[in-house]
């Protein structure tokens, strides 16, 4: 799992995915004949039909697989006279989950998130009450290190905890990892497979829109994380880490196509892949936009159960990751027709 650790630890907030894209491209080059980067920054890899008879080639469908490269971050809006940085969010930030955490900017500058100590500061504090301390003595020194508009990502190192992984940006570098590993395992496929590593999902599913528009797939599968209902006093949700890949039924902006979900469940049962069904009341994935681009795509979502999503220490189980890769590989080789 060294690759997924490298993916998670690397800087790559929304709109700044270049470093992630380079890592992914270097790991998939030998498994596809065509790789391109579109104008928005999506990395799109095309795996043509292989390992099947000539009669089956050219008669397959277009299947799009999508996982987003970007992570949440913080963008600098103001530098005060003492060199402290004020910021706002890039993507979904929970203020209570980021206090006193370290961040890193693209140029390597590191800072710590602090909070105002005045009596009227709300508890929990808002982002407006927070600042980033980069060790500058004043505004002039700070301006030599960071500029207005620079984006910080969280600075955290991935670690194994028993048979699980704790890391920042599992959302959705673990999905990217699943697509990379799937590409390595495909032995034969009759369909045209498009693996899209999308940009700017956290700020509005933007890369998935342009990627789907260019490909116009008949079928699409997004791969992302989902929250769980298995921690103390958590909301009731029948998804737990360690119990298999989650097949999404519905979220706040997406309803899985019943034909696709039936096929996914059928494959999981036949291959004895552990799975669970997911209903997510808040949040969505790239599939929500892919399914309505052009004339639409028959779409589904495979989710990796993950605790503490959008924090600096998200947690997933290696067994669920393996289950996801096995089901993806099955889809690639058998199709969704």
Distance CA(211)–CA(35), nearest Å, equals 13
Distance CA(87)–CA(283), nearest Å, equals 23
* Cβ–Cβ under 8 Å, residues 60 and 49: yes
End-to-end CA distance of the chain: 32
Q: How many CA atoms lie within 13 A of 141 on its CB side?
A: 10
Distance CA(301)–CA(88), nearest Å, equals 30
Task: Name the residue among 233, 232, 245 with its Cα closest to residue 271.
Answer: 245
H runs (alpha helix) in the chain = 2-9, 18-28, 139-143, 170-185, 206-215, 258-270, 287-290, 318-334
Residues identified as active-site: 201
- CA 115 to chain centroid, in Å, comes to 29
Phi, psi of 10, rounded to the nearest 5 degrees: -80, 145
Residue 312, C-beta contacts closer than 8 angstroms, at least 6 positions apart? 97, 98, 101, 154, 156, 168
Q: How many residues does the chain have?
A: 337
Q: How many CA atoms lie within 13 A of 183 on its CB side?
A: 31
Task: Name the residue among 141, 172, 168 with its Cα closest to residue 287.
Answer: 172
């Amino acid at each position: 799992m060294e690759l997924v650790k490298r993916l998670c630890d690397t800087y790559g907030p929304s709109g700044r995915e270049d470093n992630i894209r380079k890592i992914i491209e270097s790991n998939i080059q030998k498994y596809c004949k065509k790789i391109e980067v579109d104008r928005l920054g999506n990395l799109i890899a095309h795996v043509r039909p292989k390992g099947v008879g000539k009669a089956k080639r050219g008669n397959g469908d277009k299947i799009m697989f999508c996982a987003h490269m970007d992570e949440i971050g913080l963008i600098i809006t103001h530098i005060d006279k003492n060199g402290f940085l004020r910021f706002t969010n890039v993507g979904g930030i929970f203020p209570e989950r980021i206090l006193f955490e370290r961040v890193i900017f693209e140029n390597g500058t590191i800072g710590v998130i602090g909070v105002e100590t005045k009596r009227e500061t709300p508890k929990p504090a808002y982002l407006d009450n927070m600042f980033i301390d980069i060790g500058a003595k004043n505004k002039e020194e700070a301006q030599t290190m960071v500029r207005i508009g620079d984006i910080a990502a969280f600075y955290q190192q991935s670690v194994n905890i028993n048979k699980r992984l704790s890391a920042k940006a599992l959302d959705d570098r673990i999905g990217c990892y699943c697509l990379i590993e799937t590409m390595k395992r495909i032995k034969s496929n009759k369909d045209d497979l498009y693996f899209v590593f999308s940009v700017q999902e956290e700020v509005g599913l933007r890369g998935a829109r342009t990627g789907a528009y260019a490909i116009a797939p008949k079928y699409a599968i997004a791969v992302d994380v989902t929250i769980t209902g298995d921690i103390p006093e958590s909301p009731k949700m029948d998804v737990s880490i360690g119990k298999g890949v989650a097949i999404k039924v519905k979220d706040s902006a997406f309803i899985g196509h019943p034909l696709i979900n039936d096929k996914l469940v059928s494959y999981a049962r036949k291959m004895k892949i552990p799975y669970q069904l997911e209903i997510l009341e808040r949040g969505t994935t790239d599939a929500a936009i892919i399914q309505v681009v052009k004339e639409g795509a028959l779409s589904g979502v495979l989710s990796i159960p993950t605790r503490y999503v959008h924090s600096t220490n998200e947690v997933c189980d290696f067994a669920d990751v393996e289950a996801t890769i096995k089901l993806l590989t099955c889809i690639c080789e058998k199709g969704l027709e």
